[in-house]
């Protein structure tokens, strides 16, 4: 499948959300690594649970009630209201598999969509000192606010709209920055890189999970290096995720690793902290 075909398929998926009858099909028919058991509570709310290292973790998550219109689809920051994408689930599972890396850390999630699932799991179980969840779409942030009200946190956790192109002058600095599947829009990539670099503390690390999608990865890395970030790529970063990915390659003819499988791109702001959290 060439890049143009992949792009058309992705936009076709987004366009289908205009028709509410297609929404359930969109949520059930896409690639999944089955890292979370999704138990429906009602038509809107679900319980996302997973067993990691013999520990059970769960969060109450709601699907955004927003039906995306054709006009809204023109903006890149509306994709997060379509569904919880596989990269977000993979990043959330990675967080749960590496909780020691988040203890006493300040955490920022960028482009977390309607769930900010990775940041939610960090806030619930990572013993972080502070977690801030963001997306560029107010509807997504409103949905995350509802999720925060539904779950019980012992960590300080907040959420807000953050548009990467606004580049605020006095941005807070975080020990860990999370981002899932945020690389594929050309017009936003440079702003994303700048936001990551500006948001990281001096010895901070950004954990970015996203499919390679043709040249997208290399363009992102080039921009990140120009911002002074040290970039590495991890393909086999978690045993279970790798096993599920390998089965998809073998048995699912519609599976395309280039456009589906999330790679990990840890980005460090300085050589002092050039250590990648261990993946179990």
pLDDT at 270: 52
Range of weakest confidence among 58-62, 76-80, 165-169, 210-214: 76-80
pLDDT at 7: 52
76 touches 185 (CB < 8 A): yes
pLDDT digits (tens, 9 = 90+) for 157-187: 999 999 998 866 667 899 999 999 988 778 8
Per-residue pLDDT band for 67 (boundaries 50, 70, 90) equals low
The 3-class SS string of the chain reads CCHHHHHHHHHHHHHHCCCHHHHHHHHHHCCCCCCCEEEECCCCEEEEEEEECCEEEEEEEECCCCCCCCCHHHCHHHHHHCCCCHHHHHHHHHHHHCHHHHCCCEEEEECCCCCCHHHHHHHHHCCCCEEEEEECCHHHHHHHHHHHHHCCCCCCEEEEECCHHHCCCCCCCEEEEEEECCCCCHHHHHHHHHHHHHHEEEEEEEEEEECCCCCHHHHHHHHHHHCCCEECCECCCCHHHHHHHHHHHHHCCCCCHHHHCCEEEEEECCHHHCCCCCCC
Which residues have CB under 8 Å from 24's CB, separation 6+?
none
pLDDT digits (tens, 9 = 90+) for 93-114: 999 999 999 999 999 999 999 9
Range of weakest confidence among 163-167, 171-175, 242-246, 267-271: 267-271
pLDDT at 265: 80
Task: Sketch the domain layout of the chain as residue ranges.
Answer: 82-269
134 touches 159 (CB < 8 A): yes
Residue labelled with tokens 């990675």: 94
pLDDT at 217: 84
167 touches 198 (CB < 8 A): yes
CATH code of the region 82-269: 3.40.50.150
Residue labelled with tokens 């936003």: 188
Check whether 277 has a pLDDT greater than 90: no
pLDDT digits (tens, 9 = 90+) for 124-147: 999 999 999 999 999 999 999 999
pLDDT at 166: 84
Per-residue pLDDT band for 79 (boundaries 50, 70, 90) equals low
Closest to 175 (Cα-Cα) out of 102, 266, 98: 102
Six-digit token pair at 29?
Answer: 């028919």
Q: What percent of the chain has pLDDT over 90?
A: 62
């Amino acid at each position: 499948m060439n890049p143009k075909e992949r792009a058309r398929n992705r936009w076709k998926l987004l366009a289908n959300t205009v028709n509410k009858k297609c929404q359930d099909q969109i949520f059930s028919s896409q690639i999944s690594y089955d890292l979370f058991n999704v138990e429906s509570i009602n038509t809107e709310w679900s319980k996302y649970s997973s067993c990691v290292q013999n520990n059970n973790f769960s969060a109450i998550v709601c699907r955004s009630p927003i039906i995306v219109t054709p006009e809204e689809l023109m903006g890149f920051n509306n994709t997060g209201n379509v569904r919880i994408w596989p990269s977000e689930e993979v990043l959330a599972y990675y967080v749960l598999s590496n909780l020691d890396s988040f203890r006493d850390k300040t955490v920022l999630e960028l482009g977390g969509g309607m769930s900010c699932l990775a940041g939610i799991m960090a806030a619930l179980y990572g013993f972080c000192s502070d977690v801030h969840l963001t997306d560029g779409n107010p509807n997504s942030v409103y949905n995350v606010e509802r999720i925060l009200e539904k779950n019980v946190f012992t960590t300080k956790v907040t959420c807000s709209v953050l548009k990467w192109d606004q580049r605020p002058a006095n941005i807070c600095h975080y020990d860990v920055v999370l981002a899932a599947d945020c690389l594929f829009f050309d017009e936003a990539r440079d702003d994303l890189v700048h936001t990551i670099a500006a948001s990281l503390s001096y010895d901070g690390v950004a954990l970015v999970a996203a499919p390679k999608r043709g040249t997208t990865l290399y363009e992102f890395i080039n921009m990140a290096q120009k911002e002074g970030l040290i970039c590495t790529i991890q393909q086999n970063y978690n045993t279970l995720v790798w096993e599920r990915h390998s089965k998809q390659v073998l048995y699912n003819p519609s599976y395309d690793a280039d456009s589906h499988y999330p790679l990990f791109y840890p980005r460090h702001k300085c050589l002092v902290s050039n250590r990648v959290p261990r993946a179990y």
